[in-house]
Structure 1
Amino acid sequence: MSDIIRRDPRAEWIARNRLHPLHAAMQPVQHSWMGPNGVIRKNVHGVGFIGPNGIKRIDRSGAQQGGAAKRTAAVEVQLPLHQVAAPAFYINVVPDMVGGRLSSHDRDLLGLARQLAGSDGAVLAVVFGEHKENAFATAGVDRLLVLDGHEFDGYSPEQRVQGLRAVDNQFNPRHWLLPDSRSGGGELGRRFAASLKERPATRVWQIKGDECIGRAGAGQEDLARPLPRLILAAVECADPVSETRHEVLPLELSTALARSLPRIEDLGAVAVDPAAIPMAEAEFIFSGGNGVKDWALFHQTAASLGATEGASRVAVDDGFMARDRQVGASGTWVTARVYVAVGISGAIQHLQGIGACDKVVAINLDPGCDMIKRADLSVIGESAAILQALIVAVEAYRNGAKRDAA
């Protein structure tokens, strides 16, 4: 047999031509990738994935039989309901809830809580103030306790610690889990631990039996210690819940919270130039690619939205954006809550770089490009007209908010 590797020019042409009807079938399926912390992540929705319960995923979309065009007619699969009628114990989770919704870090934390709860325990999520989340059931929450009140608005660590102390006295959970993040969970967890006079485990990324492993030495070493009651977990500490839905039964405190005068006054958020925010820390990224023809309008839109600017590799190579603005596996891995891609087709390296983003919005002329398939919200049309309409809508919204405030 000859050792010569033969190429298929037609297959290579189809793989490059995004308008070809067989283009999607020629693309490699990404089953796993490396996260921003160096942990290998797996595609839980991929064909053949074996979940933590030992159940193998089955493709019912018809894609394996050439039914990629039938995706629009796919029926949503109803996940099995996990119920805990009389919990033997509670695993309490305090998610950051930035913007009133669960972040990817929060979902990882709930996945870790689900592992600690097992079949006898229940995951109790403690949320401060009003929220906009409607997916607690699929995130692994068995019980939900909302601590509502104006005293929890803004930066109020003292009032929140007082609320957590009341929850701790009533439910006496086996473990407390908080995200070790800059969004508030890290500070709140340390303050709460000090009030309980307990030593928490910080930057935890793995739990094995009665032992937890956390990052130490500027993230270069692992520190193992016995599993404490209070855990501050890092991002990617566990796989998020994906195979079950939960009851999310509401709970209330049996006693009213004691009111006390705060020693800290919240003066509001400090205005920060979005261009000064590092790409890896930005929560709102407005990214442009080869489809952007009017870069002055692109910069104007980003300034109007107050977003941090990003770019694809093509836009950087063409000199429209600086190299430190490049997003992707060959640039910067980003974890934004909202990522807007303007005129970006979605190369595999770029999609890897935005894999940890919560919500992706795509503006593109090609309805069949990979970025449109990845996006949570897609807008098909000319980018210049869409950006101009977006600027008008933002200005109208702000003017209306000013009139309401007056």
Structure 2
Amino acid sequence: MMNIIRRDPRAEWIARNRLHPLHTAMQTKGETSWMGPNGVIRKNPHAVGFIGPNGIKRIDRSGAQQGGSNKGAVTREALQLPLHRIEQPSFHIVVVPDMLGGRLSSHDRDLLGLARKLAGAEGAVLAVLFGDYKETALDTAGVDRLLHLEGSEYEGYAPEQRLQALVAVEHHFKPRHWLVPDSRGGGAELGRRLAAKLDERPATRVWQVDEARCTGRAGAGREDLQRPLPKLILAAAECAEPVAETRHEVLPVELQVVVARSLPRLEDLGPVAVDPAQIPMAESEFILSGGNGVKDWDLFHRAAQVLGATKGASRVAVDDGFMPRHCQVGATGTWVTARVYLAVGISGAIQHLQGIGACDKVVAINLDPGCDMIKRADLSVIGDSAAILQALMERVATYRQGGQRDAA
């Protein structure tokens, strides 16, 4: 009697859907290729390290490679990573990350991964940081040497003073390559200023680098330009895979020369107050988003005003008429890249999780501890959303009043 192998369409659908909560359980560990029913070898294009038909290695953005949202597991695994130590480097690769908010962004980590690739076994990755920073994972990001330049002259918008410091780094370390993020966070401007100062023709919007050549976007991004690898590279996001398999020393170094003070031609007048409601969600750094679990929408709007957050919503909240259509977050709405995304009463539909995939930190407030948004979140608060928002508003008001008293 012949045995008939029956297919499970639902299991196959879950195995294809990387955002489904059961996706990982459906995967065969380590399986990247298998024999199809017709004898054709099939490959998993979503596997980490998959090389596509154009020779481009796929970068894992799901968080699975570094433990996802399980921060404790990541810390324990990081302690077991082998230490990559370079006693006497033959050359330096200097990286100037944006460090927005004092922390490494995903773009910065991609840049450090590219620097690690260019440094090889003999070179050292030197990170140049300005002012105060809060990042504590520089060792697992691929930093071999750290040059921390402190002082009030580097705070705020000070491109000319920072340029003077980078020129001093050039004279002292004589790096083989400079890597700067081609971003709106300051890297694009600083990199072009450095290119003019060093009389170098930089490669901009670089997204792929090999041993002797680099590839960058041109025009509206529809064409690629290839050129020999220059000394100064302004790299785009996802230019390389972040460092994930080694730890590094992060040895502090100092400049042996005095950094010249720039002429006070620019004056930083501080941040300008902007109404969060006028900031497009695609550009907002802090979003307060409400879903079906929000019962008091007046409190939600007051909380957004007190917190200074841009308001967003799930599709259910928009369809029910609680929020306008332009506030919808998700694959069928707006894809957001906020540094903090506060989801209130949102269960976490697949389309919504797709829309917040590029957010740095996700905070979820929900009554259901088993919902998909709680699984995605970096920080979860289980409880009534109205009570939690009210307590959060009171804490913020107390904090601001304390700051005003200290200033007085």
Q: Same fold (TM over 0.5)?
A: yes
Match of 1:42 among 52, 60, 68: 60
Letter in 1 for 2:219: G
Answer whether contact 2:160 2:262 (CA < 8 A) is retained: no
1:23-34 matches, cutoff 5 A: 24=22, 31=46
Partner secondary structure for residue 214 of structure 1: strand
**Structure 1 pair 315–211 and aligned structure 2 pair: CA distance change class (3 A):** same
- Greater CA deviation, 330-339 or 87-96? 330-339
> How do residues 219-230 of structure 1 correspond to structure 2 at under 5 angstroms?
219-230=221-232
Deviations 1:337-372 (A, max 9, x none): 111111111222222222221111111111121211
* Residue 352 of structure 2 is aligned to residue 369 of structure 1: no
The alignment partner of 1:96 has SS state of coil
Q: Which residue of 2 aligns with 1:290?
A: 292
Q: How big is the shift at 1:223?
A: 1.6
SS in 2 for 1:298: helix
Moved over 3 A (4+): 1-9, 23-33, 43-46, 70-75
Give yes or no for contact 1:205–1:214 (8 Å, CA) kept in 2: yes
Distance 1:211 1:72, change over 3 A: closer
* 1:192 equivalent among 187, 191, 194: 194
Letter in structure 2 aligned against 1:324: H
SS of the aligned residue for 1:163 comes to: helix
Matches of 1:195 and 1:156, distance apart in 2: 16
Deviation of 1:41 after TM superposition, in Å, equals: 4.2
The question of whether the paired residues in 2 share the 8 Å contact of 1:158 and 1:262 is answered with no
How many Å separate the matches in 2 of 1:311 and 1:185?
Answer: 32
The question of whether the paired residues in 2 share the 8 Å contact of 1:337 and 1:357 is answered with: yes
Residue 54 of structure 1 corresponds to which residue in structure 2? none
Deviation readout 1:305-340 (Å, 9 max, x if unpaired) = 111111112222222222222222222222111111
| Other structure's SS at 2:172 match | helix
Partner of 2:277: 275
- What is the CA–CA distance in structure 2 between the aligned matches of 1:342 and 1:188, rounded to whole Å? 38
**Hey, what does 1:138 align to over in structure 2?**
140
Contact 1:316 1:323 in 2 (8 A): yes
**TM score, norm. by length of structure 1:** 0.84
Show the counterpart of 1:165: 167
Question: 1:126, 1:109 → 2: CA distance?
Answer: 13
Q: Which SS does the other structure have where 1:42 is aligned?
A: coil
RMSD: 3.2
CA distance in 2, matches of 1:237, 1:7: 38
Corresponding position: 1:259 with 2:261: yes
1:243 and 1:73, CA in 2 relative to 1: closer, same or farther beyond 3 A?
Answer: closer
- 1:12-39 CA-to-partner distances (Å, cap 9, x unmatched) read 9xxxxxxxxxx85897679579xxxxx9
Mean alpha-carbon deviation: is it higher for 83-92 or for 331-340? 331-340
2:238 alignment partner in structure 1: 236
1:218 aligns with 2:198: no
Q: SS of 2:136's equivalent?
A: coil
The 8 Å contact of residues 215 and 227 in structure 2, kept in 1 or not, is answered as: yes
2:327 aligned residue:
325
Deviations 1:385-404 (A, max 9, x none): 00001111111111111111
1:51-200 matched pairs, under 5 angstroms: 76-77=76-77, 78-200=80-202
Q: Which of 374, 389, 392 is equivalent to 1:390?
A: 392
CA separation in 1, counterparts of 2:72 and 2:359?
A: 24
